[in-house]
Amino acid sequence: MPHMIPAPSAFVAGVAIFLIVIWDAFEAIILPRRVTRRFRLARVFYKFTWRNWKFVTQLIPSRKRREALLSFYGPLSLLVLVGVWAVGLVLAFGLMQYGAGSAVNITGGQPGFAMDVYLSGTTFFTLGLGDVVPRTALARGLVVTEAGFGFGFLAAVIGYLPFIYGSFSKREVNISLLDARAGTPPTAGELLRRHAYPGGGEVLRLLFKDWEFWAAELMESHLSYPVLAFFRSQHDNQSWIAALTAILDSCALVRVAVPDTCQRQAELTFAIARHAAVDLSQVFKTPPRALPNNRLAAEDLKRIRDMLAQHGLKMGNFSEMEERLADLRNMYEPYLFALAEYLSLSLPPWIPAAKGKDNWQTTAWGRSAGLVEKEGAAIGVDDHF
């Protein structure tokens, strides 16, 4: 196909591909802000590959294997995207060399598009084999330019990957800490129950403050580097969407049902967490969707209300509380549900569905049930609703 392209057209096509790839890599790696432009090479790449990856995983009957395969996508897609950029740059300079007349001296071969791409590849990766040598000023200029961009590209990637993994680890720390504080998966009812002790209100306020910062960091990092959203947590029953939902649920519940407990901090945390949910749904083009089922049935809300009242927390009027809580839930639940559906994740319930153990209480080494129960009782996290 390239042999049929006139030389000037091939050169222009090479320049166009070069500009598209370089600008896309700049936006993805260096530019620390959300990009709203509709067409982006990285966006097309993720839209196509994620759709097909999800389709393949849905064919796997085993949930554990399905989750394992989904967890591969984030890191693998990042490496493949870097490869796509590299191939695009090699192809771009190969087309420019071809458009410049394939002005090269070759040891044991004939000039042509294949040799131009070969020269581009050895130059981009700074191999310097010397079997293909440019012989005109334009060809030499292209080789020097590509060598410089290849070196800069590889340096940027080397700095990019550690930052991505650092942001992922930073995100996961608070999610892991939430395990003993709100159960597994985290729920608003369990979070408030485990903090319903003398002095627990102040601890809850500090917890909400930490999650205010976490939500802000989540928004900034995932808006600038959306690939982080595809990185899944260490445990299948944990995720950043589940944690964000549990915190929003808890803040909403405190705002409407527990007027004397860290009200102001709950409002601040709710605001930034809701901001993160809405902005991320815009990045992934997932418009809000109504939930097929009510996450908080009236009987579950009554159980939460009775539990909080038993621990001495003052409660407001039930019907008014239910109405205000519904208004707050409508501000974030549809966005998080759409995001969860897109990322093949699930939203947590408001209260634990059944009595179970947190992740910290389980082990693959088969610790005795008696030891687990004793440790659970020691910090008061074993008996649920």
Residue 96: name the closest of 127, 114, 120 by CA. 120
What confidence tier does 314 reach under pLDDT thresholds 50, 70, 90? low
Examine the pLDDT at 48 and tell me if it is beyond 60.
yes
Interior/surface letters 86-121, b for 16+ CB within 10 angstroms, e for the rest: bebbbbbbbbbbbbbebbbebeeeebebebbbbbbb
Residue 230: name the closest of 76, 31, 39 by CA. 76
The CA-based angle 109-114-115, given to 5 degrees, is 45
Mean pLDDT along residues 155-165: 84
pLDDT tens by residue, 114-131: 888 888 888 888 777 777
pLDDT tens by residue, 216-270: 999 999 988 889 999 998 887 889 999 999 999 999 998 887 766 688 899 999 9
Pull the structure tokens for residue 231: 């990185």
Q: How many CB atoms within 10 Å of residue 133?
A: 14
Residue 201: name the closest of 212, 209, 192 by CA. 192
Non-local CB neighbours of 117 within 8 Å, separated by 6+ positions:
90, 91, 94
Could you give the CA distance from residue 256 to residue 188 in angstroms, rounded to a whole number?
Answer: 13
Pull the structure tokens for residue 64: 């554990």
Examine the pLDDT at 176 and tell me if it is beyond 50.
yes
What pLDDT score was predicted for residue 63?
A: 86
Could you give the CA distance from residue 182 to residue 247 in angstroms, rounded to a whole number?
Answer: 9
Examine the pLDDT at 293 and tell me if it is beyond 80.
yes
Look-up of token digits 């102040």: 202
Could you give the CA distance from residue 19 to residue 345 in angstroms, rounded to a whole number?
Answer: 36
What pLDDT score was predicted for residue 379?
A: 46
Supply the mean pLDDT for the chain: 84
What is the length of the chain? 385
What are phi and psi for residue 104, nearest 5 degrees? -135, 155
Cβ atoms of 384 and 357 within 8 Å: the answer is no
Cβ atoms of 341 and 54 within 8 Å: the answer is no
Look-up of token digits 């294997």: 65
Which domains are assigned to the chain?
Answer: 2-159 (1.10.287.70), 183-353 (no CATH)
Provide the CA 66 distance to its chain's centre, in angstroms: 18
The residue among 170 and 40 whose pLDDT is bigger is 170
Could you give the CA distance from residue 205 to residue 313 in angstroms, rounded to a whole number?
Answer: 15
What are phi and psi for residue 134, nearest 5 degrees? -70, 145
Could you give the CA distance from residue 142 to residue 140 in angstroms, rounded to a whole number?
Answer: 5
49-58, 195-204, 290-299: the lowest-pLDDT one: 195-204
Kindly calculate the radius of gyration of the chain based on its CA atoms and give it in whole angstroms.
Answer: 27
Query: What is the 8-class DSSP label of residue 136?
Result: S
Cβ atoms of 90 and 120 within 8 Å: the answer is yes
Examine the pLDDT at 290 and tell me if it is beyond 80.
yes
pLDDT tens by residue, 329-368: 999 999 999 999 999 999 999 988 766 677 777 766 654 4
What pLDDT score was predicted for residue 195?
A: 85
What pLDDT score was predicted for residue 10?
A: 87
Could you give the CA distance from residue 342 to residue 128 in angstroms, rounded to a whole number?
Answer: 45
Look-up of token digits 């809580």: 325
What confidence tier does 375 reach under pLDDT thresholds 50, 70, 90? very low
Examine the pLDDT at 214 and tell me if it is beyond 80.
yes
Q: At what angle do helices 240-257 and 137-182 cross, to 10 degrees?
A: 50
